[in-house]
Amino acid sequence: MSAPIIAIDAMGGDFGPRCIVPASIASLVEFPSLNLVLVGQAPLLEGLIARHSGVDRSRLRVEHAGEVVAMDERPAQVLRGKPDSSMRVALEVLRSGNAQACVSAGNTGALMALSRYVLKTLPGIDRPAMVAAIPTSRGHCHLLDLGANVDCSAEHLYQFAVMGVVAAEALGISSPRLALLNVGTEDIKGNQQVKLAASLLQQAKGLNYIGYIEGDGLYRGEADVVVCDGFVGNILLKSSEGLASMISARMEALFKQSLGSRLVGSLALPLLRRLQGDLAPARHNGASFLGLQGIVVKSHGSAGPDGFQSAIRRALSEVREDLPQRLHDRLEHLLL
């Protein structure tokens, strides 16, 4: 395969280009065949690049885009009113074939709306979904949707399931155990959409559907792919991040106060922090938009350079796996 090119929305996220430019340059060092297109306000970006020495400019191109999508801007407003935003121009670079993936840390809703508008969805997919790997007792679980779709029909959940399985397979998990998130594991449990989605999944061939899973089962690692609507997924992800932070803070306080031992604290705190990082995977590793005619990875808005670099890494691995084509091929067989 030829040298991969990734288009970077260099203006998004809480920290903007000051975080994204160094992360991009670090990625060029990490992957010697990688090419990047940094999209955003060219003078600003060139100024930031110039601070680094030894940058291989033959692999780093800057594409100017005058506008920036604010983190709290409405998706509809961005679609209509900002034709020259860095986010949109980065997606256009991808659509026109001048890149194989796009990475942004910007406004999630706007990125989803623009991605759908610019790239379109794969045949048979009504709505793209957002997926991330969250840690479990046994490894990781790929949870989707994480917030792109707050209202979902049974058919949407079914499509998410198929996409989640294909994405997990592309990451090397063979015959991933697929489950629907529900309030109980008995057949009678759940709302109408979930029950209907279960009956669709039971009929589907070639999926390792294991049934319902509860919130605790997810963290016990009982499934490799877990499907829910974006309202539930977003709340599960954010409450888990909040709980992990709270536990870390309490443990720090307990170790500092109760034990009164600097030794214990100095041994325990790095472990706690590593664990906390582990538990905020979206913040650290990025989340993929699945179901588009192109690869889009969303880095967490509050991610630092390491987090953004992880998102680039994720995008690159999806390019290497040719994820949209794999999805397209499998969807033909699996969609209703």
Q: Of 50 and 263, which CB lies nearer to a copy of itself in the complex structure?
A: 263
On whether the CB atoms of residues 307 and 13 are closer than 8 A, the answer is no
Applying CB under 8 A, among 262, 264, 332, 336 the residue interacting with a copy of itself is: 264
Phi, psi dihedrals of residue 275, rounded to the nearest 5° = -60, -45
Residue 332 binds to a copy of itself (criterion: CB under 8 A): no
On whether the CB atoms of residues 23 and 118 are closer than 8 A, the answer is no
- Total residues binding a copy of itself (CB under 8 A): 57
Q: Of 237 and 319, which CB lies nearer to a copy of itself in the complex structure?
A: 237
CA 148 → CA 11, 111, 201, 209, 295, distances in Å? 21, 10, 21, 23, 16
Residue 151 binds to a copy of itself (criterion: CB under 8 A): yes
> In this chain, which stretch among 61-69, 85-93, 121-129, 217-225 interacts with a copy of itself, using CB under 8 A?
217-225
- Tell me which residue has tokens 């942004």: 104
Applying CB under 8 A, among 246, 262, 273, 320 the residue interacting with a copy of itself is: 246
Residue 261 binds to a copy of itself (criterion: CB under 8 A): yes
Applying CB under 8 A, among 251, 252, 256, 317 the residue interacting with a copy of itself is: 251
CA 209 → CA 32, 87, 122, 331, distances in Å? 40, 37, 23, 16
On whether the CB atoms of residues 308 and 282 are closer than 8 A, the answer is no
Q: CA 284: distance to chain centroid? A: 10
On whether the CB atoms of residues 118 and 92 are closer than 8 A, the answer is yes
Residue 232 binds to a copy of itself (criterion: CB under 8 A): yes
Q: Residue 274 CB, nearest distance to a copy of itself (Å)? A: 9
Q: Of 267 and 336, which CB lies nearer to a copy of itself in the complex structure?
A: 267
Residue 12: other Cβ atoms inside 10 A: 33
> In this chain, which stretch among 39-47, 189-197, 288-296, 315-323 interacts with a copy of itself, using CB under 8 A?
189-197
Q: Of 167 and 272, which CB lies nearer to a copy of itself in the complex structure?
A: 272
Strands 101-104 and 295-298: parallel
Task: Encode 106-155 in three state secondary structure.
Answer: CCHHHHHHHHHHHHCECCCCCCCEEEEEEEECCEEEEEECCCCCCCCCHH
Residue 80 binds to a copy of itself (criterion: CB under 8 A): no
Q: Of 73 and 322, which CB lies nearer to a copy of itself in the complex structure?
A: 73
Binding site for a copy of itself (CB under 8 A): 72, 74, 135-137, 147, 150-151, 181, 183, 186, 188-192, 214-220, 228, 230-232, 234-247, 249-251, 254-255, 258-259, 261, 263-264, 267-268, 271-272, 275, 279
